[in-house]
Structure 1
């Protein structure tokens, strides 16, 4: 199963055990992350689900490997015959994420649960179940 997710203004095709480099996330190395902005989902052996056909509960789970920076990009501006030159540089902050699994119903994959504690990442269905147990 694979999915196409949107994060940081870009789209990424991900599957279980993939390592992706994305725009900076506010998470530390080792933290579990959850992506819910899914554009396309392709279950194994079935037709792909695109756009509104993707269930709202679908999630992609991952683990932050490291926070890093991209290569230095040089910006050089020049106005000819004016002796005007400007050199600037820029390095983008990036996050490396290892995808633990893709879920249609929002449940945490078994491999992801074994790797990192996912207690901090609770899905709405899990929260509703916990509230129902407390009320009873």
Structure 2
């Protein structure tokens, strides 16, 4: 099942489980958000269009984070006048996880877990800058083995020793050294 919702002056086609980025919404991370502006529903019973909205339809979502978007550069220039101005802007945006859709006698829910990891944290982990959170597993120490088993393990296959470095090819000085050794 899918729905087309309207928020922030834009329209989005969503399904349960989708992660979407919309214009900034009020609320803290983990807050539940509901959209009543559903323009269209599609599912097993076919497509339902609103005129302009579908009454009784709603889309539930969870707010993952509010962040700044990508940087947009603004560059102004007037030819042959020496006038140049550069500016930048980063729009505030909200990241949402769609949890469920209800309306026109149908409903669809997403049963997965919401990952509250922010994009900044994901990027930091990818570059190896964020501290790793490792699960601490207590390893059970093996009980002491009887002496007979230890002796059997020692005689099975010894660890291969390192090879001695290979001899270098004979150079001009070495044959002379060999000749002096033969004379003595």
Please say if residues 39 and 54 of structure 2, whose CA atoms lie closer than 8 Å, have aligned partners that are also in contact: no
Match of 2:85?
Answer: 86
> Is the contact made by 1:59 and 1:105 (CA closer than 8 Å) also made in structure 2?
no
**Offset at residue 47 of structure 1 (A):** 1.8
**Is the aligned partner of 1:72 residue 2:71?**
yes
Which deviates more, 62-71 or 50-59? Answer: 50-59
Structure 2 unpaired stretches of 5+: 115-184
Long gaps (5+) in structure 1: 116-136
Tell me if structure 1 keeps the 8 A contact 2:4–2:40: yes
- Mark the structure with the bigger radius of gyration: 2
Per-residue CA deviations over 1:85-120 (Å, capped at 9, x if unaligned) read 1111000101000000000169x97658x98xxxxx
Residue matched to 1:32: 32
Instruction: Report the Cα distance in structure 1 between the residues aligned to 2:98 and 2:109, rounded to whole angstroms.
Output: 13
1:72 and 1:94 map into 2 onto residues whose CA distance is 12
- Structure ranking higher on relative contact order (CA contacts 8 Å, 6+ apart): 1
Query: How far apart, CA to CA, are the structure 2 residues paired with 1:54 and 1:83?
Result: 52
For the 8 Å contact 1:2–1:41, the answer to whether it is kept is yes
Shift of 1:52: 2.2
Higher strand share: 1
Equivalences for 1:1-136 in 2 at 5 Å? 1-43=1-43, 45-52=44-51, 55-104=54-103
- Could you tell me whether the CA contact under 8 Å between 1:2 and 1:42 is conserved in 2? yes
SS of equivalent residue, structure 1 residue 72: strand
Aligned length: 113
